[in-house]
Amino acid sequence: MRKIDLLTLIIIVTLSFSLSAQEKAAKPSNVKKLKDYSFIPQGKARFEKKEFEVNAFFISKYEISNEQYREFLDSLKNNCETDKLKFAQIDSTQWSKIFNSYNNQPLVDNYSWHPAYSKYPVVNISYEAAILYCQWFTEKFNRNNKNNGIYYEFSLPTKQQWIRAARGNNNTEYAWGSPRLLGEIYYCNFRNLNSENIHLNPKTGKYEIVESYLSKINGADITAPVKSYIANQFEIYNMCGNVAEMIIEKGTAMGGSWNDTGYDVRVESSQDYKSALPFIGFRPIMTLITK
């Protein structure tokens, strides 16, 4: 009996030391050059009527931009990493699945490459490409920011981490801590449809959605710059709307996009995807691994 008690005590002490080391490492003061990342303290993620405890981590304040992604592609090209470059390519032709041929060509030609769109979120990339970006940035950051005893790892968030960062300590539908999409201004980039867009077709007797200028009144026809609208309590932008964001669970994107209506840009909104799309992007998280 004494042996069991002693073993239990050793385990408790070991776990306590490990947790203490992780909490110490996770303090923002111990992290180098992460001005564009927000610290998310340990807390609860609330979704699907359940609560999940989530350890502390960091998350990008912004969705990864075209400018950042181009740097990644240039690095692969310069280092002749042709196999990775094959998976990392942007499929700009995906814009044609949203707009007709007359409207989509400027986006196909310019969105990912023109300087005017540098601060806009990267889209039309695969899940594998987002994973490769995180791996590349992990190597780059650790190479440039050596910190004895700490290894910085960038990755896609779990669903629990994403919701914890989006919702924070609130329990509201949207990331900015409100049940509403509109105050004096619109709080996010979404497909604005309301009663003015509902039409009863006299021939079919069915209600239809009619696009009008009212559906564009939130200020963006497609995506908006990654630093737009209202930040949440952790100073994170566009967790709801703009682009839906990939998580580590392959084929699932969270938060809705510019192409989704108000109900579908809630914190808990998720959508399935199988390939690169014009309304899906990503933002990495960063965790600290103590050596």
Domains along the chain with CATH numbers: 23-290 (3.90.1580.10)
Model confidence over 99-155: pLDDT tens digits?
765 567 889 999 999 999 999 999 999 999 999 999 999 999 999 888 778 899 999
Judged against a pLDDT cut of 80, whether residue 211 lies above it is answered with no
Query: Cα 47–48–53 angle (5° rounding)?
Result: 45
Residue 148 identity: N
Mean pLDDT of the chain: 85
Query: Tokens for 109?
Result: 């030609």
Model confidence over 265-291: pLDDT tens digits?
999 999 999 999 999 999 999 999 887
What distance in Å separates the CA atoms of residue 80 and residue 61, rounded to the nearest whole number?
31
Instruction: Specify the range with the lowest mean pLDDT, choosing from 13-17, 159-163, 231-235, 284-288.
Output: 13-17
Cα torsion angle, 221, 223, 226, 229, sign: positive
**Contact status, residue 96 vs residue 115, Cβ threshold 8 Å:** no
Judged against a pLDDT cut of 70, whether residue 212 lies above it is answered with no
Return the pLDDT at 7: 45
Give the chain's end-to-end CA distance (angstroms, integer): 35
Model confidence over 30-43: pLDDT tens digits?
566 678 999 999 99
